[in-house]
Amino acid sequence: MSQPNSSHTPTLVTRDGAVLPDGWQLLNDADEASGDGPYVLGFERALRELDGLNDRCGVRIQPADDVRLLEPFLDKIALVEVAFPGFRDGRGYSTARILREDLGFTGIVRAVGDVLRDQLHHMLRCGFDEFVVKDADPAEAVAAAAKRFSVAYQGAADDRLPAWQRRLNAEAAVS
């Protein structure tokens, strides 16, 4: 028996399957900035400090945080880390879709925390582009999630057309 995937070291991987070093440094409320950054700020701290910052930074958003509060500062944000403290907590999926589809955020949306391969398909559809995933083979996990379903029934934050739209298109192509 192999060990559970969740016991593997979390690894940063992109939606294209590239495994990257994580150069971002998390600054919680009381932490002093040290080194060159770039920094990821906790949500409350980000709301307090983003206005005065010159460099673009990252924000870590917890499930209960209202992502829409970031709206005035989006041009200051390069990365949003959406935290999944437990894989059963699905609030982060709404957070990501709101960021992408409602707020039009174009920076990086990253899933962190209890991220396992079975969530990746849904995360890809909700607009995440990076994952700090626990898996024996993170790149393969993302590739498998991307091609797991050949069809989608509903529109989301990715470019897949809902099945009804594809049916309409197929009909139009025939007539």
Partner 1 sequence: MYVYDDFDHAFVADRNREFADQVQRRLNGEITEDQFKPLRLMNGLYLQLHAYMLRVAVPYGVLSSRQMRRFAHIARTYDRDFGHFTTRQNIQFNWIKLADTPKILEELAEVEMHALQTSGNCIRNTTTDQFAGAAKDEVADPRPFAEIIRQWSSNHPEFTFLPRKFKIAITGAFKDRAAIRVHDIGLHLKPTGFDVHVGGGMGRTPYLAPLIKTGLQPENLLSYLEACLRVYNRYGRRDNIYKARIKILVSALGAEEYSRQVEEEWARLDTTKVDAPLAVVDHFKSFFPDPAFKGGFDAEALDRAKTADAAFARWVRNNTHAHKRDDHVSVTISLKPVGLPPGDASSAQMDVMADAAEAYGYGELRVSHEQNIILPHVAKGDLYALYRDLDGSNLSTANVGKITDMIACPGLDYCSLANARSIPLAQDISQRFEDAQLTDTIGDLQIKISGCINACGHHHVGHIGILGVDKQGIEFYQILLGGRADENAALGVITGKGLPAEAVPAAIERVVRLYLDLRTSETERFIDTVTRLGRETFAEALHEPA
The number of CA neighbours under 13 Å toward the Cβ of 148 is: 16
DSSP per-residue codes, 51-99: GG-SS-EEEEE-TTS-GGGGGGGGGGEEEEEEEESSTT--HHHHHHHII
Q: Does 174 bind partner 1 (CB under 8 A)?
A: no
66 contacts 91 by C-beta, under 8 angstroms:
no
Q: Does 139 bind partner 1 (CB under 8 A)?
A: no
> Minimum Å distance from CB 71 to partner 1?
11
59 contacts 31 by C-beta, under 8 angstroms:
no
> Minimum Å distance from CB 67 to partner 1?
9
Q: Which stretch binds partner 1 (CB under 8 A): 4-12, 22-30, 32-40, 45-53?
A: 4-12
Closest to 46 (Cα-Cα) out of 65, 34, 60: 60
The secondary structure of residue 9, as a DSSP letter, is: P
Q: Does 101 bind partner 1 (CB under 8 A)?
A: yes
Closest to 141 (Cα-Cα) out of 22, 20, 11: 11
Q: Does 163 bind partner 1 (CB under 8 A)?
A: yes
> Minimum Å distance from CB 98 to partner 1?
8
Q: Does 69 bind partner 1 (CB under 8 A)?
A: no
Nearer to partner 1, 32 or 88 (CB): 88
> Minimum Å distance from CB 23 to partner 1?
29
Binding site for partner 1 (CB under 8 A): 1-6, 63, 87-91, 93-94, 97, 101-102, 116, 118-119, 121-123, 125-126, 136, 148-156, 162-164, 166-168
